[in-house]
Amino acid sequence: MTKCRREGEIMAQDTDRRAAARLLLQLEEWMARYIKSFYNPKDSIQRMILAKEEHTARVRAICRELALFLRLSPEDMALAEIMGLLHDTGRFRQFTIYQTFNDAISEDHAELGLRVIEEAKLLRPLPEEARELVIFAICNHNKKAIAETADPRRLFFARFLRDVDKLDIYRVLEPFLAPSDGSGISPDFLAKFATGEQVDYTMIRTLDDRKLVRLMWIYDVNFAWVLQRIVERGYIDKIIACLPKDEALAAGISRLRSYVAEKCATPDL
């Protein structure tokens, strides 16, 4: 490689890095203003908006923590934080219009968020590859599975964002965990849990189904660092304690525990 070409590449990398870092600061200000525009005098609505505001801040902070742990480059770290900051942009409009966070009875909040991001031209300052990475990760953060892609960077950031989001969702859901109400777990959910598969969220029929889905998520956590945090905070044990006692479920739980022990012992780096 000629000296001139090398210098050109270094300058291009430097421009990308500065573009992402500068944009992160601008988006932080934009997001704070955007969320405030949804503040509502009605207490029941305001509580939900504030809860999503806190989730947004925490997801962004965990993105930074995980990026540091994985020793991502400064521009990738800024991209990771941008994804965390913007991933739930759609939630604010969703709750204001539909008064629910349930995508199945309103609309997909990731798609909604991406429309807001496009309308406000938020990602325009980024180079195209970076812009597409952010869009792909946000679009796939709430889906049952990540859309097929041959691009390893797209897959990496989609996994990254899904994991970070899950870690904070376990925190959000913890205060709402309650012992089984006797509704029981649907047989098809039990069968999927026993084999470590995911289920279609729209098929949730009971409150116990809903709790089991949170346990199934564990099989979808990609980074040992994230799984270790989930284990340390006791989220898995707390969910299990709130499920009905059932033999078929016990077999699934024992499979899950072995899986967790093995995954946590497998380093990310």
Residue 136, H or E segment: helix 128-140
**CB closer to Fe ion out of 108 and 132:** 108
**CB closer to Fe ion out of 76 and 88:** 88
**CB closer to Fe ion out of 142 and 222:** 142
**CA distance linking residue 146 with residue 249, whole number of Å:** 27
**Token representation of residue 125:** 């300052």
**CB closer to Fe ion out of 96 and 206:** 96
**CA distance linking residue 66 with residue 72, whole number of Å:** 9
DSSP 122: T
Q: Which residue is nearest to Fe ion (CB)?
A: 88
Q: Which residue has the tokens 């199934």?
A: 216
Stretch that binds Fe ion, among 46-54, 87-95, 203-211, 245-253 (CB under 5 A): 87-95
In single-letter form, the type of residue at position 165 comes to D
In contact, 161 and 84? CB cutoff 8 Å: yes
Determine the size of the site formed for Fe ion (CB under 5 A): 2
Q: Helix, strand, or coil here: 238?
A: helix
Contacts of 124 (CB under 8 A, 6+ apart): 131
Smallest distance, Å, CB 109 to Fe ion?
6
Smallest distance, Å, CB 237 to Fe ion?
25
Stretch that binds Fe ion, among 5-13, 134-142, 181-189, 238-246 (CB under 5 A): 134-142
Closest C-alpha to 219, from 192, 248, 183: 192
Under the criterion CB under 5 A, does residue 88 sit at the interface with Fe ion? yes
Smallest distance, Å, CB 101 to Fe ion?
9
**CA distance linking residue 67 with residue 139, whole number of Å:** 20
Please list every residue from 135 through 164 that binds Fe ion, using CB under 5 A. Answer: 142
**CB closer to Fe ion out of 112 and 133:** 112
**CB closer to Fe ion out of 16 and 94:** 94
Smallest distance, Å, CB 257 to Fe ion?
28
Smallest distance, Å, CB 85 to Fe ion?
12
In contact, 66 and 164? CB cutoff 8 Å: yes
Smallest distance, Å, CB 98 to Fe ion?
15
Interface residues with Fe ion (CB under 5 A) are 88, 142
